[in-house]
Structure formats: C-alpha cells, structure tokens
Chains A and B, each alone.
Chain A
C-alpha cells in the first residue's frame, strides 16, 4: 500500500470519528483537515498552509512561539485561530503512523457557544461522543430555568417593597413608624378626643454615628426606643419617624405636669452613658410637647407644627430640655418671623 493511500484511509476514518482533527506533515504544513475544522478556515482551503499560519499557541507558555508541540506530544495545548483570535481551542497532538506526520485533534472547550454562533455549526458537525451539543443544551436549559427563578425573585422583591410601605413598624427599633403615627393622629382628630403629641429629637446623635459608626448608632436608637417604651403606658404610642426623631402619643386629656415629668425622666435617662463594644456613647434629647384638648379642631399638620415650635424652643434654650407648646410661643415665633422678614428687607434695600 502506498503512503498516500494510507493517509487518505486514515483521513477518512478520522473525518467520521473526530471531525475536528487535522493531519500535519513533517514540514508542519497541513495535509488534511476534518470537515468541521474546514468550516473554521477562511481564505482558501487549509491544505498546504503552514500549521502556525493558521494557529497560534497560547498555553502552555513554554510552547509559545516554538514548534515543540510536535515533539512534546500528549500535552494539552491551548491555541487560537490567527484569523479569529477570540476563538479559543484546545488540542492534543499525537504522532501519526506515517513518517514525520502528526495528528492534532481540536475541541472548543468553553468557547463552544461563541464558535457555534460564529461559524454556523450544527449538531452534525460534532461527533456523537462529543458532549458539545449536550453542553449547549444545558446552557440553554439552565438559562431558561434561571429566568423562571429570576421572575419569582423579582416578584417577591416587589411584594416585599409593597409590604414595607404598608407596614406600621420601624424595623430597627420595633417601634411604630411615621405611617402609623399619621394614621393614629387622623383617628384622634376625627374622633375629637384629647391627646398629647410629644416630639423628641436626639442631640449629638450624629456625632455618635460619625465617630462610633452606624452599628453604634443603631444600638443607641434601640436603647432610646427601650427607654421610651419603659417610660410610657401600654396604651401610649411610641414611634420613630425619622433617623433620630421620635414621636410619642398620649391618649386622653393628660395632665400637663404628668407630661412634663415624663419628659424630664426620658431626658435624664437618655443622657445616661450608653456602652457599645467598649465605647461610651453620650447623647441627649430635646422635646417639644403639643397637648390637644378634646373637641379642638386642628389638622395633623397643625399639631405637628405646634410640637415642632416647642421642640425648636427646647433646642434654642440649649438642648436636653423640654417645652410645652403655648399660644404665646406661637406669637413669639410669628413676631420673630416678621422681624426677620423686615431685617431681610432692609438688608436687601
């Protein structure tokens, strides 16, 4: 049998068994390429071209730029096509029975999907023993399953957001939240019952947050929440309505001296040092109290404005204080506002 005949017979066999193989002559020119590999070449048939004109070795690095892959066989070699450098291939080289010839079998490995797309390959381009098509199947099946899971996650996330906006609880402290306060306040005002709204701002809380960190800040808020609960009755409502802003609602025509004594106790307890992981956090609280007599016609906004004015007065007087709202306070504020406006006007003139 002639050697040419041997080569043809072997090529025919390998075309079926491994359609991505190629036969390389002793002078490193390509003697034959398998049918799938033929689809990857551009610029004329690969036969007769130099192997290294078509391929470039990327790994192992010691084989780069050398022709050692034909002497150091049975090593896994990573290469890429010179005319399509993003298509990565892996190969194994073995000497062929014909003198000086080698057989190189190639596979796409992980870049399979890109290669299939780019060279329009189909399942008949792969040997049935090659798991290429199964891998593509898995990629698609997993993406489809993942998409279904993602839809569920998105829905749950949206539902969680809705639930949070509908909630009446401040998750950090377990107190009621702004929404709850608005709701209760509306109920009190609609029923025309007497009550008192106490607004409390923490003093120096920002310093704790900035110097001791958010974990310390959160801990402080939780301790304040505990104090507020302990200093109020079960039927009173305690809420955190902002970062370091709290609101207490006392139901009924509560005696003013009782309110002020509660405020006093709260302030003195809040001022006690709070220990967190070896740090001492010292804060204080300013309070504004707005009592509302039964039958008074007010809006929630007005009640809050009254409490705000009282709170502002406490802060003006040096923090760690409480103030009960009075009409005099409002008059004073109005006068000050008018004076400020006048001053602004004369400054501008």
Chain B
C-alpha cells in the first residue's frame, strides 16, 4: 500500500490521540520502524496490521475507526491540503459528488503510483445517489463515509449516508441529499495561500 495511505493512518492516530498511542500501535503491529514515509511503498499486510492495532488499542470497531479516519482527513488542519484538493471537485456538494468518478485519475495526476479506489456515482434523481467503491482492499468505503459526511458539512449540505456491500464485493454508499443549502458551510478560496 502506498506510503501516503499508511502515513494517513499514522497522522490520524498521532493528531487525534497523541504520539504515545502511535507508539503503542507500532508495538502491537510489530513494525520495525517508527514512522511511515509518505513516498515509499509498503507491504499491504502491514497496513492491515496497523489498522488491526489501532482497532485494538482504541477498543472501537474497525468500521468506526475507518470512518473516523475519513472525517479526520478533511477536518484536521494538519491535512488541510487534502480538503482543498477535494474542494477543487466542484462548487456545490452535488457537483463534488459528480467529481468523485475522477478522483482516482485526479490523484494520479499528482502522485502517479497512488492507487485510490475506483468510484462510480449513480444519480438516481430526487437527491438520491448511489456510489460504488472498488478496491482490492475492502474498507475504503467506510473511510469514504466519514469523508463524505464531513464534506457535506464543508459545503453546507445536509445528507444521509448508508454503507452496504454489493454483489461483487464492492462497497456501496447510498446518499440522500436532504438540503444542499442547509448551512453556510466552510469557505473555499480558490487562490488561498497554502502552507
């Protein structure tokens, strides 16, 4: 798995629970290093070990942990760059949803070897959408749940989300947009200086 994904797990733990907790994760997962490097590749099994260790040390269900990671990725100031990149997807939450089909391609423009799940949005009309998420490793759907919930807030939209598994093992997120202009949301300045 790409270092960026592994490092996201690490940052999630240190930024949310502190570095002591991360050290515990390193110990439980039996990593022989203390930090992931963003631009290197790691064995897929390592990523699973780390997630399992986080689940163990936090005492929370795996799905919850993954969803929290999704939320973390678009709210924490330390990873603000990612929220900005996602906001480039569109002016409104529905536009953002439509941009998700291009997410994997977009990310490859910046980091060629980063393999994000292939997403496909089905617009069912009347504010209802179905988003399918395919990746060799399951669980991205839960991360996406947290991410979408938070991005809806970011855009000021009110949406209901539901996670399920499809017939071919893909993850399916049902999205019901209740109100696209529910709140002012967070601003997005296209030309803002990014640290």
Q: Which residues of B contact A204 (CB under 8 A)?
A: none
- By size class, the interface of chain A is 20 to 34
A113, CB-defined interface residue at 8 Å: yes
Do the beta carbons of B39 and A144 come within 8 Å of each other? no
Chain B nearest CB from A142 CB (Å) reads 6
Q: Which residues of A contact B191 (CB under 8 A)?
A: 113, 116-118, 120-121, 136
B109, CB-defined interface residue at 8 Å: yes
A149, CB-defined interface residue at 8 Å: yes
A327, CB-defined interface residue at 8 Å: no
A62, CB-defined interface residue at 8 Å: no
Chain B nearest CB from A122 CB (Å) reads 5
Q: Which residues of A contact B111 (CB under 8 A)?
A: 141, 145
| CB closest chain-B residue, reference A119 | B191
A138, CB-defined interface residue at 8 Å: yes
**Inter-chain CB contacts under 8 Å: number:** 65
Report the stretch among B22-30, B81-89, B157-165 that lies at the interface: B81-89
B1, CB-defined interface residue at 8 Å: no
- CB < 8 Å neighbour of B110 from A120, A136, A144, A152: A144
B38, CB-defined interface residue at 8 Å: yes
| CB closest chain-A residue, reference B111 | A145
Q: Which residues of B contact A277 (CB under 8 A)?
A: none
- By size class, the interface of chain B is 20 to 34
Q: Tell me the bound Cα distance from A120 to B190 in angstroms.
A: 8
Do the beta carbons of A143 and B88 come within 8 Å of each other? no
Within 8 A of A (CB), among B8-49: 37-40
Chain A nearest CB from B36 CB (Å) reads 10
Q: Which residues of A contact B193 (CB under 8 A)?
A: 117
Contact digits for A112-148, partner B, Cβ 8 Å, 1 yes 0 no: 0100111011111000000001001110111111001
Q: Tell me the bound Cα distance from A117 to B193 in angstroms.
A: 8
The A interface is mostly helix, strand or loop, or mixed, namely: helix
Q: Tell me the bound Cα distance from A132 to B39 in angstroms.
A: 27
Do the beta carbons of A140 and B81 come within 8 Å of each other? yes
A151, CB-defined interface residue at 8 Å: yes
Do the beta carbons of B37 and A152 come within 8 Å of each other? yes
Q: Which residues of A contact B90 (CB under 8 A)?
A: 123
- CB < 8 Å neighbour of A133 from B37, B40, B109, B190: B190
Q: Tell me the bound Cα distance from A92 to B189 in angstroms.
A: 29
Chain B nearest CB from A39 CB (Å) reads 12
Do the beta carbons of A141 and B190 come within 8 Å of each other? no
Known: A136-B190, A141-B109, A141-B110. 19 other contacts (CB 8 A): A117-B192, A121-B190, A122-B91, A122-B188, A123-B90, A133-B88, A136-B88, A137-B85, A141-B85, A141-B107, A144-B82, A144-B85, A144-B110, A144-B194, A145-B110, A148-B4, A148-B38, A152-B37, A152-B40
**Chain A positions near chain B (C-beta within 8 angstroms):** 113, 116-118, 120-124, 133, 136-138, 140-145, 148-149, 151-152, 155
